[in-house]
């Protein structure tokens, strides 16, 4: 058994740390702007310019939740988290508490419901993202992120805004989401912040986090909740960077359950013009690196305003599908390798939860020999994972043929690696330990 124990939390994370790989979906009216999900805020747009204009034309006529679910499943993802409302405040579900919602667009359907049904039907777990920030609600006070913070009368406007009304609204909507859509596996709040200068920040007092979460846990026992509502729950969520060690709890130093969330190209919403799309090779290495440090990867797709996944997203998902088809055994049910196993340079290890299998991911493909320190006497059998072809190795008197110098390889195993790199982006060697 793995010796790593994570901090106890209220939610059920057992399935989560087994499954390791999920899809984030950022979808809202910002798909029409196609230049960032923060467009309303960044460009300081008014409600007339943004809310009232886009709602008239939002019509993802090619949306097919089943197709999204099939693509996620084929890529090897085991769960998906959809934005039910992002910072713009637009609701992708048929909320009873607002008119600013998808059922009031030409599209006219409750997209959250179709998402939940289709993903569940494919056997994936479902999560809902809910933005605590809301740039549409008339009582949400203007702060450092709000689109109106450059308006001359911003402070004046704040005098008539009653944030407690917004808190009420938030509570009611979260209750709706936790009541009307069956079992929800993850609730992903986003996010809390400090104030600066004249602007007050927003955190657990404004969101009434304790009250909201108490209700959520009554309605959805076992649900996993992230930490972004300013109250520690189940999930630590590093974003847009890859941790270099297994994150630990600030006060106690315990290991925590964590999930890196990453984009294909930078923005979370559909971004037409970005040229920073990550290579397939880099994306797969990100998944492996995450699991090699005991974490999950939540990889984001921003569907187009017509409702389908952009070709660049689809191609990347297909690359994952191809790799996972042969190599998922090194991901599902795997975690950080035991401290006694130190991966050589150019490689990343993962190890199965039961401790019996060790996986060597060849980020750098070595020439003929791969030296694995400390493994002498511990290997029962070794093979490439993608085709189960045997890998020969020596562990006694492992020396290179040289008359120039001696290399001390005691305790190491030297594997014979074919010169021809297997036809897979990141080859994996599966070691059955004694
Ligand atoms: C950030 C951004 C947001 C995105 C989120 C995902 O907090 O505000 O656009 O939804 O990260 O982690």
239 pocket-lining for ligand 1 (C-beta < 6 Å) = yes
| Structure confidence at residue 196 (pLDDT) | 83
What gap in Å lies between CA 334 and CA 353, rounded to an integer?
A: 5
Q: Average pLDDT by consecutive 10-residue portion of the chain (434 residues)?
A: 96 98 99 98 98 98 98 98 98 98 98 98 98 98 98 96 98 98 98 93 98 98 98 97 97 98 98 97 98 98 98 98 98 98 96 98 96 94 98 76 64 94 98 98
For residue 267, the ligand 1 atom closest to its alpha carbon is 9
Residue 35 CB contacts under 8 Å (≥ 6 apart), including other chains: 267, 271, 272, 273
Token pair recorded at residue 106: 């030409």
| Structure confidence at residue 398 (pLDDT) | 57
What pTM value is reported for the model?
Answer: 0.97
| Residue 2 contacts residue 59 (beta carbons within 8 Å) | no
What gap in Å lies between CA 288 and CA 330, rounded to an integer?
A: 8
For residue 191, the ligand 1 atom closest to its alpha carbon is 7
| Structure confidence at residue 16 (pLDDT) | 98
Token pair recorded at residue 14: 């057992």
| Structure confidence at residue 399 (pLDDT) | 59
| Residue 295 contacts residue 255 (beta carbons within 8 Å) | no
| Structure confidence at residue 407 (pLDDT) | 66
Site to substitute for ligand 1 among 38, 191, 241, 265, most atoms within 8 A of C-beta: 191
Token pair recorded at residue 117: 């049904």
* Interval between CA 44 and ligand 1 midpoint (Å): 18
Respond yes or no on whether the N-terminal peptide bond of residue 191 is cis (omega within 30° of 0).
Answer: yes
* Interval between CA 131 and ligand 1 midpoint (Å): 9
What gap in Å lies between CA 23 and CA 285, rounded to an integer?
A: 16
Q: Beta strand 413-416 with 347-352: parallel, antiparallel or unpaired?
A: unpaired
DSSP codes, 262-316: E-SSS-SS-BTT---PPPHHHHHHHHHHHHHTT-EEEEEE---TTSS--HHHHHH
Q: What value, to the nearest 5°, has the Cα angle with vertex 374 and ends 368 and 377? A: 90
268 pocket-lining for ligand 1 (C-beta < 6 Å) = yes
């Amino acid at each position: 058994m793995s010796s790593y124990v994570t901090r106890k939390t209220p939610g059920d994370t057992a399935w989560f740390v087994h499954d390791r790989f999920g899809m984030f979906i950022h979808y809202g009216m910002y798909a029409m702007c196609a230049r960032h999900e923060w467009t309303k805020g960044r460009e300081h747009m008014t409600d007339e310019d943004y809310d009232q204009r886009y709602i008239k034309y939002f019509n993802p006529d090619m949306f097919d939740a089943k197709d999204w679910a099939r693509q996620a499943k084929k890529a090897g993802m085991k769960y998906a988290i959809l934005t039910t409302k992002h910072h713009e405040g637009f609701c992708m579900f048929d909320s009873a508490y607002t008119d600013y919602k998808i059922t009031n667009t030409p599209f006219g359907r409750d997209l959250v419901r179709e998402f939940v049904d289709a993903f569940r039907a494919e056997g994936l777990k479902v999560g809902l993202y809910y933005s605590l920030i809301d740039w549409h609600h008339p009582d949400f006070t203007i702060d450092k992120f709000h689109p109106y913070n450059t308006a001359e009368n911003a402070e004046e406007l704040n005098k008539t805004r009653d944030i407690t009304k917004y808190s009420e609204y938030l509570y009611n909507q979260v209750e709706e989401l936790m009541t009307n859509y069956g079992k929800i596996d993850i609730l992903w709040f986003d996010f809390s912040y400090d104030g600066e200068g004249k602007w007050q920040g927003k955190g657990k007092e404004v969101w009434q986090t304790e009250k909201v979460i108490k209700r959520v846990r009554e309605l959805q026992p076992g649900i996993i909740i992230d930490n972004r509502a300013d109250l520690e729950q189940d999930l630590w969520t590093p974003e847009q960077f890859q941790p270099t060690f297994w994150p630990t709890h600030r006060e106690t130093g315990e290991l925590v359950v964590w999930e890196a969330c990453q984009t294909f190209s930078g923005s979370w919403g559909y971004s037409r013009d970005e040229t920073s799309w990550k290579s397939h090779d880099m994306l797969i290495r990100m998944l492996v690196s995450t699991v090699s440090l005991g974490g999950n990867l939540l990889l984001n797709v921003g569907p187009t305003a017509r409702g389908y996944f952009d070709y660049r997203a689809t191609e990347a998902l297909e690359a994952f599908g191809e790799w996972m088809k042969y190599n998922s055994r090194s991901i599902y049910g795997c975690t950080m390798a035991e401290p006694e196993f130190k991966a050589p340079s150019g490689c990343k290890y993962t190890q199965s939860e039961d401790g019996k299998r060790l996986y060597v991911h060849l980020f750098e493909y070595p020439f003929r020999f791969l030296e694995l320190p400390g493994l002498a006497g511990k290997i029962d059998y070794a093979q490439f994972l993608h085709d189960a072809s045997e890998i020969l190795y020596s562990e006694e008197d492992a020396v290179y043929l040289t008359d120039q110098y001696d290399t001390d390889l005691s305790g190491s195993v030297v594997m014979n690696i074919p010169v021809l790199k297997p036809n897979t982006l990141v080859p994996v060697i599966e070691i059955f330990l004694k």
